[in-house]
């Protein structure tokens, strides 16, 4: 059985259409590692890092599907399993960077792209790759661009998630009260996130059950 690690509960609902085992790690590297380890304990024979990603390559727009052959972190590279990658419809060009924290600003995204060559970034893929390597299991990545390289993430997006991978409405509300000027950016992010989720659903429907 293949297991999928997501950051958000909303992503986990989509991933459940693809694989039998799903665990939401709460939108962070540490949580993703714990989620991946839980999936191994439940008998997963391979792991997929699944969900949204931030764009580093300016050419990648919201809704772009990524099935990268490589995951990067701090000078280390993990190769996704070729057969699993092909089963997802990949590979797509470029690597994904599995950072430990959100890369929120346009300048920070550009700097990471220039330094690593990665085309996108997320919080879970490196953690999933590390757990897979430790247990000698194959892994792959299925991600979709949500926030593009040319857009800053609004402050509310950085505090919205709780440890269970749910969006806390009160956290968002408090952030908006403190900085109401971010509302247009939040609306744009919500629109792009909805587009990204639709793209994931479409890809999962095309793949079928693994």
Q: What is the pLDDT of residues 57-68, one digit of tens each?
A: 999 999 999 999
133 touches 78 (CB < 8 A): yes
Q: How far apart are CA 69 and CA 78, in angstroms?
A: 8
Q: Which of 30, 157, 172 is nearest to 102 (CA)?
A: 157
179 touches 41 (CB < 8 A): no
Residues in CB range of 29: below 8 A, 6 or more apart:
98, 99, 100, 123, 124, 126, 127
- Cα–Cα distances in angstroms (integers) from residue 99 to residues 1, 124, 172, 195, in the given order: 27, 8, 23, 23
pLDDT of 85 strictly over 60: yes
Residues in CB range of 53: below 8 A, 6 or more apart:
66, 96, 120, 121, 122, 143, 144, 145, 146
pLDDT of 159 strictly over 70: no
Token pair in block for residue 17: 């259409």
The runs of H, that is alpha helices, within 105-208 are 106-116, 125-134, 155-159, 169-178, 183-207
Pick the CATH number of 2-151+193-207 from 3.40.50.620, 3.40.50.1580, 3.30.70.2740, 1.10.10.10: 3.40.50.1580
More confident: 155 or 79: 79
What is the mean predicted confidence (pLDDT) over 115-137?
A: 97
pLDDT for residue 158: 66
Q: Which of 131, 130, 125, 149 is nearest to 60 (CA)?
A: 149
């Amino acid at each position: 059985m293949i297991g999928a690690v997501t950051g958000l509960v909303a992503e986990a609902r989509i991933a459940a259409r693809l694989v039998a085992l799903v665990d939401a790690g709460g939108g962070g590297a540490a949580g993703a590692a714990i989620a991946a380890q839980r999936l191994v304990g439940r008998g997963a024979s391979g792991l997929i890092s699944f969900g949204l990603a931030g764009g580093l390559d300016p050419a990648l727009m919201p809704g772009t599907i990524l099935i990268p052959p490589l995951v990067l972190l701090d000078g280390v590279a993990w190769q996704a399993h070729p057969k699993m990658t092909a089963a997802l419809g990949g590979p797509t060009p470029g690597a994904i960077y599995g950072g430990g924290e959100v890369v929120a600003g346009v300048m920070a995204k550009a700097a990471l792209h220039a330094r690593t060559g990665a085309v996108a970034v997320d919080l879970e893929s490196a953690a999933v790759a590390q757990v897979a390597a430790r247990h000698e299991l194959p892994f792959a990545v299925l991600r979709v661009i949500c926030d593009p390289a040319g857009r800053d993430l609004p402050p509310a997006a950085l505090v919205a998630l709780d440890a269970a991978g749910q969006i806390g409405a009160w956290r968002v509300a408090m952030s908006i009260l403190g900085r109401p000027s971010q509302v247009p950016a939040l609306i744009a992010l919500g629109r792009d996130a909805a587009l990204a989720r639709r793209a994931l659903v479409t890809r999962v429907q095309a793949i079928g059950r693994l």
